Amino acid sequence: MSKFLSAAASSVVALAIATSASAQTAPAAAPAAPAVTHGPALTGVCIFSDKRAVGQSLVGKAVDARLKTIAQQVNAELTSERTALETEAKALEAKRATLAQDAQEQQGAALQVKANAWQRKAQLRQREVEATEQKALSRVYTEMDTPIRQVYQTQKCSILFDRDSVMLANPAMDITDGVVTALDARIKTLTFDRERLDQQVPGAQALQPTNK
């Protein structure tokens, strides 16, 4: 049982690490770079950071908070069940000396069945949380398309570059803040629950925007 208990603990930890939108919405701060003197802003040339827009927008922050809550709920569920299995495994180990060989094998096999089921459930929950994150962020990016086009036209851009593809650029050409403002005016939050991959129901409730 010791190998199972170790694997179980690792699964829960891996799930906790893998189920946060913060990697998408709030990249780790880079070391301070030396000051750069930029040349004049180029007329019609604009840059935009979708990651920064999601991270700074109201809806992006709301999605990040909700995903963290869902991840915490999943880990609480799995940790509780893992603890029960650990307790059962320790109890079986404690009475092993007094059990007949066939009884040991029978009870050990029954516990292993439960352990295998728990591991399958942990893997399913991880996939569900990942699917939830992908679906929520996809909706945010969809909602952001119109604000990008609006600001692009307002700023009279002739071409728009992805900020991640540009090493350095005059900040005056960055339209990200304008897109965040427009996105905040369009949508402020999304309400959603964890995706259930083991019971997909036709017509299930979609992500619901809330502009409050």
| DSSP letters for 87-119 | HHHHHHHHTGGGS-HHHHHHHHHHHHHHHHHHH
Q: Which of 19, 32, 120 is nearest to 76 (CA)?
A: 19
Give pLDDT tens digits for 154-187. 999 999 999 999 999 999 999 999 999 999 999 9
Asked whether the predicted pLDDT for residue 76 surpasses 50, the reply is yes
Contact 59, 183 (CB under 8 A): yes
Single pTM value for the model:
0.74
Nearest residue to 148 (alpha-carbon basis) of 171, 125, 178: 178
Residue 27 DSSP one-character state: P
Residue type, 156: K
For the cut 70, the answer to whether the pLDDT of residue 4 exceeds it is no
The residue written with tokens 């029978």 in the block is 106
Indicate the average pLDDT of the chain: 83
pLDDT tier at 209, thresholds 50, 70, 90: low
For residues 64-91, average pLDDT = 93
Query: Using alpha carbons only, what angle is made at residue 94 by residues 90 and 100, rounded to the nearest 5 degrees?
Result: 120
Q: Does position 63 have pLDDT exceeding 60, yes or no?
A: yes
Contact assessment for residue 196 and residue 176, using Cβ atoms and an 8 Å cutoff: no
**Average pLDDT rounded to a whole number, residues 54-80:** 95
Query: For residue 133, what are its two tokens?
Result: 């994150």
Instruction: Determine the Cα–Cα distance for residues 40 and 18; give it in Å rounded to an integer.
Output: 42
When mean pLDDT is compared across 83-87, 99-103, 145-149, 161-165, the lowest value belongs to: 99-103
What is the pLDDT at residue 132? 95
Per-residue pLDDT averaged across 71-79, rounded?
A: 94
- H helix or E strand, kind and range, residue 28: none
Cα distances from 152 to residues 21, 54, 68, 139, in angstroms, run: 27, 17, 33, 20
- Pairwise CA distance, residues 114 & 16, whole Å: 22
Assign 155 to helix, strand or coil. coil
pLDDT in the model for residue 95: 85
Q: What percent of the chain has pLDDT over 70?
A: 78
Pick the range with the lowest mean pLDDT from 93-97, 120-124, 133-137, 158-162. 93-97
Which pLDDT band, with edges at 50, 70 and 90, does 33 fall under?
Answer: low
Compute the average pLDDT of residues 80-107.
88
Name the maximum alpha-carbon separation found in the chain. Answer: 85
- Helix axes 101-154 and 58-94, enclosed angle (nearest 10): 170
Tens of pLDDT along 52-61? 999 999 999 9
11 or 151, greater pLDDT:
151
Kind of pairing between the strands at 159-162 and 189-191: unpaired
